[in-house]
Structure 1
């Protein structure tokens, strides 16, 4: 097995993403820290941390990369009916601590959202880089959510949870529509899942993903104010 680079916490640096291993897919380096500057640098270069409590910090850049282009979001007929019923109110940055907690708790197989990760992304939330998106049911209960980083015209999704049928799907539809209106080029989904693929996500070569990042992360979006609410205004089913 190839020797992985060890990241010195005192040095703000990553090896090129295209040096990541093929097996396990995308493993690039280990060590370092989760400081705001290091995390932002990682995402700008197509890299993200993913590890458990009993491991050092592991840094990844898988190939291919699962992404969702906002204009390619797929809304099924059944989901469109749910949206037309206005079953969910979608907000942003209204309940970040609850969202990241529920993202961790909803993963019964274990979570990489450790206390260290929670603290790190909370710091980035306070800096206006990490955002939460929330889905509330008609009783005002938080039933879906996700969080991720907004850098330039890219949104890097980190984790999502859903406590009611279609809550996370409704959230994704509204998020894609809003990001598209703001001129965002992509939503990074990191690793493919059936749920994401059914909603229009697809896998692209890492080289293509990195090229999009290079052209997008330094371009300001049309809008920066994440303090808003969305409601579905699409066509009837």
Structure 2
């Protein structure tokens, strides 16, 4: 008896450890290249070279520059949204927002190239992730604004607009990655000293959290 079409379709084989490592190397290299050159300026050859492999080897894992770019953006958004999605409606508002802001600051410090890549995508009109922003991101933001409004209604936070609070957190935490050159120009040698990132995090947390505490 012939197999059904569904059974005849072969499932994709899971990647080996080496294949997983190669994919990660490509995506890590692509973040750096796209952050500096943008999508148009970046080349497959440059990404392959930075990843330490040949162009044909890279194309075994990703068929096009567009596919690599989209994968990098999706991974960046997935990482960024995880701590945002984890905000617990039943938790203490100040502590929940403290954890989220701290996580965003740490991501900006550890992966500034990813933040710059995302900023470039937005500046150019979000041609790749526009639909994601209007659907998945908007739905999650709407969900969290309801949580913040509920906290305000309970008197646990000052009367603030949830959307503008979220925009403020995004802008402030990503500023340290996206405008690193400006920060170093203004702060001088202080910006390169040990402890500067921790000092910045403490200042940001103090300013934002003290501003939203109930009066």
State the TM-score, normalizing by the size of structure 1: 0.26
Give the strand-richer structure, 1 or 2. Answer: 1
The higher radius of gyration belongs to: 2
Give the helix-richer structure, 1 or 2. Answer: 2
